Amino acid sequence: MHEPLISVDGLTLRRGQFLLDHVSLSVAEQEIFAIIGKTGSGKTVLLESMAGFHRPDSGHVLYSGIPIHTIPVNRRNIGYLYQEYCLFPHMTARQNIGYGLKLHHIKGQQANERIESLARRFEITTVMEQHPGTLSGGEQQRVALARALITQPKLLLLDEPFSALDPVTKERLYDIILDIRTGFGCSIVFVTHNFKEAGLADRVGVLLGGKLRGIVSGRELMCASWDEDVKDFLGILD
C-alpha cells in the first residue's frame, strides 16, 4: 500500500442539526475507497469536505500532506462527479468535457486530443455534438465522468455514481470504475448505500449518524464484527 494521498483526521463539521463527528480515514494512491451509509448519514458532506468544499469546525483534511484549504482550487487536481451530473445544459457534450481545460489554460491540439481520447474510452464519440437533454442517463454519466477526468486528476470523488442508472448500465459503469483506476492511475472515493456497489472497493467505511463506525475490506463488509446499528443497516442476522 502506498502512502496516503488524502487523509481525514478528526474531521468535525456541523450543518444545521447535522453533525459529522470526528471522522478519520485515509486513502492511498490508486486505492478505491467506498463510503456506505443510510440517506442522511453524512456521506455527501464527507465527500465534499474531502474536496475542500467545506471548512471543518475542527480536524483537518490533508491532500498529499498539505491542508486542502491552502491549495488553490485549480491546483488541487481533484475530479468531482455530482449525483445529478450537473452538466451545463447549454453546452454540447464536447464543450462540457473540455470545460475544465479552459481553467487550466490547455488549448488547441492538446485539448482536442484529450477530449477525443476520453470520448473513445467512454464510447460517447457519436453524441459529442449533442446537448445533455438529448442524452440517456448512461450517456450523461459517461460525459460527466469524462469531464471530471479531463484534467487528469490524482483523486476522483463520486457522489452516488450508480443511483440513477438501469441495471445494465450499472454493470457497465462498474467495469468503467475499475478501468479508471488502472487506466488513469488515480485514487477513487465514492459514496453509496448499496452493499453490492461497496464490494467494488478495496476498502469500505461505514458512516451512520455522522460517525464512521469502522473500515473493512470490500470483501469483509458483510462478515466483519459490527455493532448492532451497523448490523441492522446491513441486514445481518445474529
Kindly list the distances between the CA atom of residue 81 and the CA atoms of 37, 159, 189, in Å, as whole numbers in the listed order.
18, 6, 11
Residues in the chain: 238
Q: Can you tell me the mean pLDDT for 127-146?
A: 93
pLDDT tens digits along 30-59:
999 999 999 999 999 999 999 999 999 999
Q: Can you tell me the mean pLDDT for 194-205?
A: 90
CA distance 150 to 228: 43
CA distance 162 to 165: 6
Which phi and psi (to 5°) does residue 110 adopt? -60, -45
pTM for the complete prediction? 0.91
**22's grid cell:** 470526528
Cβ neighbours of residue 154 closer than 8 Å, sequence gap 6 or more: 5, 29, 64, 77, 78, 186, 187
pLDDT tens digits along 212-225:
999 999 999 988 98
Which residue spans of the chain are classified as CATH 3.40.50.300?
A: 1-77+154-238
**216's grid cell:** 473493512
pLDDT tens digits along 64-97:
999 999 999 888 999 999 877 789 999 999 999 9
What CATH superfamily is the domain 1-77+154-238? Answer: P-loop containing nucleotide triphosphate hydrolases (3.40.50.300)
